[in-house]
A = this chain, B = another copy of it.
Amino acid sequence: MGTRFLGEPFSRSFKGALMVWCILLLLIQCSLAATSNKSSHHFYKWEVEYMYWSPDGLENVVMGINGKFPGPTIRARAGDTVHVQLKNKLHTEGVVIHWHGIRQKGTPWADGTASISQCAINPGETFDYRFTVDRAGTYFYHGHYGMQRSAGLYGSLIVDVADGEEEPFQYDGEFYLLLSDWWHKSAHHQEVGLSSRPMRWIGEPQSLLINGRGQFGCSLAAHYSNDNSSLSQCDITGHEQWAPYILRVDPNKTYRIRLSSTTALASLNVGIGNHKMVVVEADGNYLQPFETDDLDIYSGESYSVLLKTSQDPSQNYWISFGVRARKPQTPQALTLLNYKANSASKLPLSPPPVTPRWDDYAHSKAFTNKVKALDHKTIPKPPSTYHRRIILLNTQNKMDGYTRWSINNVSLSLPATPYLGSIRFGLKNGFDQTTPPENFTVPYDVMKPPRNPNTTTGNGVYMLGYYSTVDVILQNANVLAENVSETHPWHLHGHDFWVLGYGEGRFTEADEKKFNMKNPPYRNTAVIFPYGWTALRFVADNPGVWAFHCHIEPHLHMGMGVVLAEGVQRVPKIPNEALSCGLTGKKFMTGNHF
């Protein structure tokens, strides 16, 4: 049993006392099974506050943690406990942090979703996130209140296999690249625009960031003749906040590159000059390895790829990320694969890999269809049947002059009281008591703009039978404008789901035959392609209340999400601190006079 404090080894003093304990522990361990893991407790004290930062060379304000942007990286082993004591040092805003991909079994109040799992932490107050990271994988964390993710509240969370366990692939070194997109307009202003009548769209990001670093107004690759932007070569010493995060590698080794996307909007594609990648992990679950020249990654997704440094070691190579699925107006994010013999300022011989056309959806689908689960003890097989199937049609709508996204014509508007408390304590005024629709019942042509674009807001819950198997069909449609259907990556909290299949047009029962029941990828985020559908299956085995939503930040802000709940009466005692607002706060106070 080890304890780490702020990532530093535990106090080196008291060595004598420790020795005694060590001997005692050894004795105890001898009496345990040989496979028993040493689980650790990782304690972090974090303070969230706004600070000046230059994510892309232009100074701006970001939401940082302990003076860092992105926030500190959490690194633990499967089975460890992570304890983040989060202090809100913002002046007037609440804050929460969601641990994306961590299922929070037994700790649903630590999921970090304001209005769902907890009350936002008030300025000056502290909340203790304590949870087990039960499975190795590539994760990240981010704000989940208003648009604080867009404000820069995010960081990486890497879970290694437990001691004594092994990954089903080998590598000599690793890197993690957390991808995001950045606007020069503050998240506050973005929010006002989205909530205004008429809505003002946030537009495309000004820059793409790799580990919080991007370049605006200049290019790392300006000198190639095929760079047809008018950008000049960036003048970078390497010490700037916006200097690229360079991957320094030895030749003839295998590196694991962990990729996570916490973009607010952008779907990205990564390519590495002269190198292929072997994709081995998605969202914390192993994949059947497959080789690829480029990889699509949507907001909310994680991948691990293996890269062999088998190319000419006297050269460096570009790593590029470009926008897909929306017409790009943002330059590629670039950094270097730097073979150590070379200076990091040595430019590659060739220009950066070209991102596939943004609307080459055949390319996207071909990639997605290669993503299949590895046959591995950590990955369950999907149940062959379902208890309940919910079809979620997403539409873009108008409401009273506002623009909204709706699911089965209900646009999510989160309540002031966290659902976890409202459901647990039967506070019927906490949210809409009518169950939201299981389907979009009226005949609806998904290929056309809505005939009646009106919608309403709501915040009902899909109550799921505990341990029931649930199918969700995510059904895409045409937006308000003609001939446009967008890409939406949907993220489920508290669970992984099997992605049984993707299809075109409106889902029909006949499409079931095409489901992949053999090795569907098991993950927490899945994309719906334009005019298409995506079929998911999961087991409602995690007592709690869980958000399920488009991971595009402005889309969620405009209502594109639903709320699921299961087994809430089985949740252990919820810490009062999680429920001190709204009706739960009021209920706590009733009858308690000093």
Interface residues of A (CB under 8 A from B): 49-52, 61, 91-95, 115, 119-120, 122-125, 145-148, 186, 188-189, 191-193, 195-196, 414-416, 424-425, 573, 576-577, 580-582, 585-594
Contact = CB atoms under 8 A, between A and B. Distances in A.
B61 A189 contact: yes
A51 B125 contact: no
A92 B146 contact: yes
A145 B189 CA distance: 19
Copies in the complex: 2
A573 B416 CA distance: 25
B594 A52 contact: no
A91 B146 contact: yes
Given A146-B91, A585-B585, A415 B124 contact: yes
A88 to B, nearest CB: 9
A582 B122 contact: yes
Contacts of A52: 192-193, 196
Contacts of A590: 576
**SS of A interface (majority):** loop
Nearest to A574: B594
Contacts of A119: 122
A402 to B, nearest CB: 12
A92 B93 contact: yes
A424 B193 CA distance: 43
Contact of A192 (B51, B196, B415, B585): B51
Contacts of A425: 594
Contact of A188 (B145, B188, B591): B188
Contacts of A585: 580, 585, 588
Given A120-B122, A186-B188, A145 B586 contact: no
Contacts of A196: 51-52
Given A52-B196, A191-B91, A415-B124, A576 B586 contact: yes
Given A94-B122, A122-B582, A124-B582, 7 more contacts: A52-B192, A94-B94, A119-B122, A120-B122, A123-B416, A124-B414, A589-B589
A147 B91 contact: yes
B51 A581 contact: no
A148 B188 contact: no
Contact of A92 (B94, B582, B588): B94
A425 to B, nearest CB: 5
B146 A120 contact: no
27 contacts: A50-B188, A50-B191, A51-B192, A52-B192, A52-B193, A52-B196, A61-B188, A91-B147, A91-B195, A93-B93, A93-B94, A94-B122, A115-B124, A120-B123, A122-B582, A124-B582, A125-B416, A125-B581, A125-B582, A424-B594, A573-B593, A576-B589, A577-B586, A580-B580, A580-B586, A588-B588, A589-B589
Nearest to A88: B416
Nearest to A593: B573
A581 B122 contact: yes
Give the top 8 A-B pairs by smallest Cβ distance, nearest first: A124-B416, A92-B146, A91-B146, A576-B589, A588-B589, A92-B93, A50-B192, A580-B585
